[in-house]
Amino acid sequence: MNAHLSTPNAVVRDAGNRALRTLAQGLAVDVLAAVAVVLTTAVAAGIEWTSAYWVALALAVAKSVIVAIVAYVARLTLPPAQAPTTSARPGGAA
């Protein structure tokens, strides 16, 4: 049962995988937010892309990196309530 997560090496790989997925999801949200700001500045009169927007974008990306690091550490220290299965079907049937 869940032998693929029984070794410390497997847990580290799982934690890395989880951190990368979290980073990708966070960066996707950051990119969508940046696109929304760019579109707003292009459409609305009187709004310009300033250094404040770049700082906000940098902070959003930094937030995503920090959340990915937290996800990695959390997975290493707090195992999931139920170990992941290899099947996406309900009940774990292959």
pLDDT tens for 13-39 read 888 888 888 899 989 998 888 888 888
Per residue in 47-88, pLDDT (tens digit) is 777 888 889 888 988 999 999 898 888 888 877 666 555 655
Residue 73 domain-assigned? yes
Angle (CA) 38-39-44 rounded to 5° is: 105
Is residue 89 situated within a structural domain? no
Answer yes or no: is 93 within a domain. Answer: no
State how many domains the chain has: 1
Q: Give residue 66's domain range.
A: 3-79
Return the pLDDT at 1.
Answer: 43
Structural domain includes residue 74 = yes
Task: Find the angle CA(25)-CA(68)-CA(66) to the nearest 5 degrees.
Answer: 115
Q: With cut-offs at 50, 70 and 90, classify the pLDDT of residue 40.
A: confident
46 domain residue, yes or no: yes
pLDDT at residue 52 in the model: 86
Q: Is residue 11 in some structural domain? A: yes
Greater model confidence, 19 or 89: 19
